[in-house]
A and B are shown apart, each in its own frame.
Chain A
């Protein structure tokens, strides 16, 4: 009986989840996404972005998928007694009606074992997967973190 109820619950939750499988742009807005250009000889990079949750319930980002790398994880940088540790995160939660910024030195999408060195001007396609089955496709430009035009005495920031 117990198993019957739980399987019924499981089934119904599947049905509830189904309508939201395709991304609902009204629930989550992604802005300012980019992937950090890779210096030669490095194999890893990271993606950064702003995630705006427009619902009154927290949203959990569970996974990011892309075929550019061997492995993609959600990470946070934590400062423990001055030592910077990368901590893999099982999920990243965006609070209700809140914006979370993935940025250098904080939460980020860790892209490991990149198959081909990424250069500025290229685009990276990725899919964000959220709890409840919602997904969000996005195309993030590759951006340099070293402004190449910066000349001596140039004061642009």
Chain B
């Protein structure tokens, strides 16, 4: 009998935890991730050592979460982002820092990420970490992801939310765009992102 009530308590607890998560969009009632608020900082590993978000103060940051074995969603998003970047004037490109954070750290080592991302754009930085740190970062950015096991584990997929998080040169989350955004709308958003720097300086 005692165990039964414990079980009920546990179920209620789980339900409470689950109900607190809102997977629909990366912004929720949690004020830590809202437009115009400081984007949560992180320190993760690149192939050239640790990298923090605060290292890029003064630049517009485009943050994207994914994994290199992603067969459709990530390559599509990265391709759009690459094309948007390449179509911007060189000066604007230099004020932008695209960052890719892996959701599959056991496979995606920093060097593997670097090799993968070079294919898209030489300016990309790829970041990996241990599961624990990654869990914190994905939680901060409201990224929902889950391994989708296949019959042969070699072919596991990861379900994930796919947004471009645009972070202003002063470190505020400016906006987030879905990965299927058009090159044109992404280009426009990136130009605006860099302009916020000038506006804030005046």
Contacts and interface: CB of A to CB of B under 8 A. Distances in A.
A75 to B, nearest CB: 8
B79 interface: yes
Interface residues of B, number: 44
A142 B82 CA distance: 19
Interface in B139-174: 144-146, 148, 152, 154-155, 157, 159-162
B46 to A, nearest CB: 15
B83 A147 contact: yes
Interface stretch (A23-31, A41-49, A57-65, A122-130): A41-49
A39 B72 CA distance: 12
A152 interface: yes
Most buried by A among B115, B148, B157, B160: B157
A154 B83 CA distance: 10
A71 B69 CA distance: 14
A83 B23 contact: yes
A112 B111 CA distance: 22
Interface stretch (B31-39, B87-95, B190-198): B87-95
A110 B70 CA distance: 11
B68 A42 contact: yes
A75 B150 CA distance: 13
A112 B76 contact: no
Most buried by A among B68, B93, B183: B68
Nearest to B93: A152
B86 A42 contact: no
Interface in B70-120: 70-73, 75-76, 79, 82-83, 86-90, 93, 112-113, 115-120
A145 interface: yes
Nearest to A104: B76
A44 B23 contact: no
A4 interface: no
Nearest to B22: A81
A14 interface: no
Contact of B87 (A45, A82, A113, A153): A153
Contact of A45 (B25, B71, B154, B161): B71
Interface in A77-121: 77, 80-86, 104-105, 108, 110-113
A157 interface: yes
A82 B23 contact: yes
Contacts of B71: 44-46, 86, 108, 110-112
A36 interface: yes
Given A46-B71, A112-B155, A84 B160 contact: yes
Interface string B109-142: 0001101111110000000000000000000000
A103 to B, nearest CB: 9
Contact of A44 (B26, B69, B87, B117): B69
B161 A146 contact: no
B115 A83 contact: no
A83 B160 contact: yes
A105 B74 CA distance: 10
24 contacts: A39-B68, A39-B116, A41-B68, A41-B112, A41-B115, A42-B69, A42-B70, A44-B70, A75-B72, A81-B23, A83-B146, A85-B159, A86-B157, A86-B159, A105-B180, A108-B71, A112-B155, A145-B75, A146-B79, A146-B119, A150-B87, A152-B93, A154-B87, A157-B184
